[in-house]
């Protein structure tokens, strides 16, 4: 679905939905506690990269960098798989295109399978902070300064999967820098280290080229805002599976504006293959503080020494 407008604003509808959000939160916490009793304790270190918002914070590039640095396999759900993404999902296909070993499906089963191998490298778990089925060695939460915690309400009144108090379960925080600095609304315990990341969106076109941008991600306006000379946009649902009809309409829309079509990499992998040569994506380059990798290496080494 498309990210609702009220997720970022305290509207009347958001307030009306807060009772439902309370029920949702109560049930989710009960389920969490029950499942946590049967948590699998892996032999290998598990590095969980998660968030407390319902998607859209830019977590996938962070997962990619950490998995590359640790030379680690990635375990993920493979959300919204389809024929355009080799039935493994857009995020999984993006990571696999970079040469990473990606295991999609039931995360606990995949961790157990990897745990039987003789390999001792860590396992990176994508988006498992709310999944108690596997005991994590290290939990890292990702935030975007431009989004913060949205309107601060729980689903469906807002974007939060759980309250900001959940931050206390994290071992570290990575904040993607932005212009709005909405993170001031979130209180992070002093004992949890904070590291910063920066995104740079690189367009394949010259700055003078007119662009018609489209995206089916959590917060598409964030993508549109970093492009230059955008003369038209179109928003699709998050993880939308594009059809040939959709693309033909987009091509016509761009032609009416004498513009080039552009999208995100996550959307590009969901395009029908016949259009991937015709449509380009803006590359997202992410850098994380070097101090983070020193911290991460120390935590993983500390776990290995403790285990031995």
Q: Does residue 101 contact residue 123 with C-beta atoms inside 8 Å?
A: no
User: d(Cα 44, Cα 115) in Å, to the nearest integer?
Assistant: 6
Segments making up each domain of the chain, as ranges: 5-200+287-307, 201-284
User: d(Cα 298, Cα 290) in Å, to the nearest integer?
Assistant: 13
CATH 3.90.930 fits 5-200+287-307, yes or no: no
pTM of the predicted protein model: 0.89
pLDDT in tens, the chain (308 residues): 678 889 989 999 999 999 999 999 999 999 999 999 999 999 999 999 999 998 778 899 999 999 999 999 999 987 655 555 555 678 888 899 899 999 998 999 999 999 999 899 999 999 989 999 999 999 999 999 888 899 999 999 999 999 999 999 999 999 999 866 655 567 889 999 999 999 999 999 998 999 999 999 988 988 999 999 999 999 999 889 999 999 999 999 999 999 999 999 999 999 999 999 999 999 999 999 999 999 999 999 887 767 66
Mark out the alpha helices in the chain (DSSP H runs). 12-16, 18-36, 59-70, 90-97, 107-115, 220-225, 244-256, 265-268, 290-307
Q: Which residues of 143-173 are buried (b: 16+ CB within 10 A; e: fewer)?
A: bbbbbbbbbbbbbbbbbbbbeeebbebbbbb
Residue 81's φ and ψ, nearest 5 degrees, are -70, 155
């Amino acid at each position: 679905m498309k990210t609702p407008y009220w997720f970022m604003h305290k509207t009347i509808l958001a307030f009306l939905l807060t009772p439902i959000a309370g029920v949702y939160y109560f049930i989710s916490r009960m389920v969490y506690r029950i499942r946590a009793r049967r948590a699998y304790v892996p032999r290998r270190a598990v590095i969980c990269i998660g968030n407390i918002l319902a998607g859209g914070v830019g977590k996938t590039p962070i997962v990619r960098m950490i998995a590359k640095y640790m030379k680690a396999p990635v375990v993920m759900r493979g959300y919204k798989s389809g024929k355009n993404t080799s039935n493994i999902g857009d995020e999984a296909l993006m990571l696999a295109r970079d040469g990473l070993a990606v295991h999609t499906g039931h995360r606990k089963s995949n961790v157990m399978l990897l745990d039987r191998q003789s390999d001792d490298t860590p396992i990176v778990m994508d988006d498992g902070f709310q999944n108690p089925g596997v005991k994590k060695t290290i939990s890292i939460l990702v935030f975007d300064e431009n989004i913060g915690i949205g309107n601060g309400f729980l689903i469906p009144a807002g974007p939060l999967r759980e309250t900001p108090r959940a931050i206390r379960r994290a071992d570290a925080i990575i904040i993607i820098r932005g212009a709005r600095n909405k993170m001031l609304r979130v209180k992070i315990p002093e004992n949890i280290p904070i590291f910063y990341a920066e995104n740079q969106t690189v367009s394949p076109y010259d700055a003078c080229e007119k662009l018609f941008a489209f995206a089916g991600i959590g917060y598409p306006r964030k993508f549109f805002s970093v492009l230059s000379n955008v003369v038209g946009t179109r928003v699709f649902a998050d993880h939308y599976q594009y059809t040939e009809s959709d693309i033909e309409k987009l091509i016509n829309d761009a032609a009416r504006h004498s513009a080039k079509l552009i999208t995100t990499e996550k959307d590009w992998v969901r395009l029908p293959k016949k259009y991937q040569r015709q449509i380009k994506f803006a590359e997202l380059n992410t850098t994380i503080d070097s101090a983070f990798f020193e911290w991460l290496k120390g935590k993983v080494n500390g776990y290995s020494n403790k285990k031995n």
